[in-house]
Structure 1
Amino acid sequence: MISSVLPTYNRAPLAFVKGAGSWLETADGTRYLDLGAGIAVNALGHAAPVLVEALTEQAHKVWHVSNLYQIPEQQKLADALVEKTFADTVFFTNSGTEACELAVKMARKYWYEKGAPERVEIITFRGAFHGRSSAAIAAAGSEKMVKGFGPVLPGFVHVDWLDLEAVKAAVSEKTCAIMLEPVQGEGGIRPAPDAFLTALKQISDETGTLLIFDEVQCGMGRTGRLFAHEWSGVTPDIMMVAKGIGGGFPLGAVLATEAAAAGMTAGTHGSTYGGNPLGCAVGAKVMEIVAEPEFLAAVNAKGGFLRQRLEGLVAAHPEIFEEVRGVGLMLGLKCRLAPGELVAAGYAERLLTVAAADNVLRILPALTITEEEMAEAVSRLDAAATALETHLA
């Protein structure tokens, strides 16, 4: 008999009743150190007091009015994002998947309005993850994502990750945009080198092709900059944001230049819940904290500390680990066995991690994690690896 919750997840036999910072607790009081942060969502940790306060304060005022009216909290967050980024305008969604849908529509509408309706193709990269909607799975293109869900939405051209020559060959008179994650998350914590992003920007400039960055997982301070593309100095035309922007409250956004968004006039897109007062009140507080230079500097320092400890872990367990990948507090351990085995071994050590493709174990802690907690986390990873070595022997 099917469960009342649709069984599309292989859920761990764990349920948490409360959390604080980098810790989660089950009903019997067992505490787990969380290196997943809800898959890079809880940027300020679990039940961050400043976010509880922001949410509670707004909850006593108004929850939902719809986008038929002005929403002051939405305007405040949009203004903050425009001030701190390349963007001139913002549309709020509830998720990264919804952000992907709008980014695709916006790029195609841009060319339609310019009198080139044939320019509908978007070049994407293998190993990508842009969400679970029809457009998002078509953009990723992997068999795992699209099998059984045909016909697959047309208009996407897939090339190998970091294959610049393939990108050049794929650009045609039908191309409207190039879309990628500056750091692939689900694909195995694979950062795009600065030189690669620079080359893509050059192609974009030369052909008029729009550049779309998916910073759903790598954005909002995760890499030590407010957004990962800032490391390269390359700016996109359109950017998708979600996960960390709400600090745990469902919230997403599409940021764009005025030119890229020119086709999105009244009636061309909408969302009933997107940009609601509750989500934007929380998002504005997250933005206020995460965008501070001191906060980002601390993320960089923590990333360096954690990476050094993880490098030591790799050296200590060469039969288990191969290398450390990533930037800031978006790190991955390339494993020599299925990462799910490490995840399971971590449960025994009261440690939470997240598996990814390419045999990678993702390390995505709250950006507020302390050095003491990171040291403890690596100690627990060490114990998990030792247990697996004993099992392998």
Structure 2
Amino acid sequence: MSEVRMLARLWRGRAQLWFSVTPARAGAYLAGKVLGFALTAFALSAPGAQPASAPRQISYPARPIRLIAPFPAGGVADAVARLLAERLSARLGVPVDVDNRPGSAGTLAGDLVAKSSSDGHTLLFHQANMLIQPGLEPVPYDVQRDFTPVARVATMPLFLAVGAHLPVRTVQQWMTAVRTNPAAYSYGSGQPGTPAHLYAEYTVLGLRNGVPLVTAKGEGAVVQEMLAGRISACFCSYGAVQAHVRNGALRLLGVTGLKRSPLAPAVPTLQEAGLDGYSAAAWFGVLAPAKTPHAIVARLAAELAAVMAEREVRERLQAAGLTPMSDVPDAFATAIRTDQLQWQAILREAGGQGSP
């Protein structure tokens, strides 16, 4: 019983704090606990013994999985969703079907998944826009409350691009030019409510006399307007501008995010150039309904990490202007919290200018 007396001495102060008992009663209590643990261990060591309540094993997946995507068929986002579905199906041993549910800026797809069973058989493939939309209009769900983050699979760095005919080659030169003569320049933006749109809004807000913000019908239209000289600059994906950068029609001055993009490693981050507030990333990721069991989320995250480690997958994403990444649920949840704060702060400063 010397071990019992030693444990009683070590834990006596804590026993008094928790249970308000005398040292003698604390020692007796711990002695009983140690004896109970010993008896339990002895019983479990007997041949054929089973724990009183063995954890229930989860059979997953038990049927085909639906990957809900808030994008129309075709386009980069849909292609990424289908690539993931194909690879996950091979790894999980069940069909993974992409279910396109475009409309209401992704709200329809998000609502469908938020209200689905949390058994891991209905998943959402979405992008960072889902953190912005609640600041533009009421949505029927709360991103942090009604979803379980599984993993981000790619980020889409946004580059500050300008027409190559402009006599600016650095972010500092560009900012000096627009501050000196704001009416001579303009920013272009595609779909309202996207990270590219909000970053353009944010930049314009930082200029005393403002700069015209021109809205075009999509990122491709913005690039065409820049090539025609009717728009001076934009925050665009690498996929949208890379061909024009290579042929010398456009120039990249900076990139959003906390570090340089491997797609164009010579281009500095806007933070390096002295501009703050451009750290939130445009990402693509997989989410499950709230209360999805941890074991299922961990399995999905592990399979997605394996998919993202495939060379062909990474090459196809890079060719589309995306940066592949392998995320874990906790890191994804943290990114959602921090990025949502930044986007909502920009929307508040815009005073409703970001609304479509």
Fold in common (TM above 0.5): no
Question: Whose radius of gyration is greater, 1 or 2?
Answer: 2
Given the two structures, how large is their TM-score scaled by the length of structure 1?
A: 0.25
Q: Greater helix percent: which structure?
A: 2
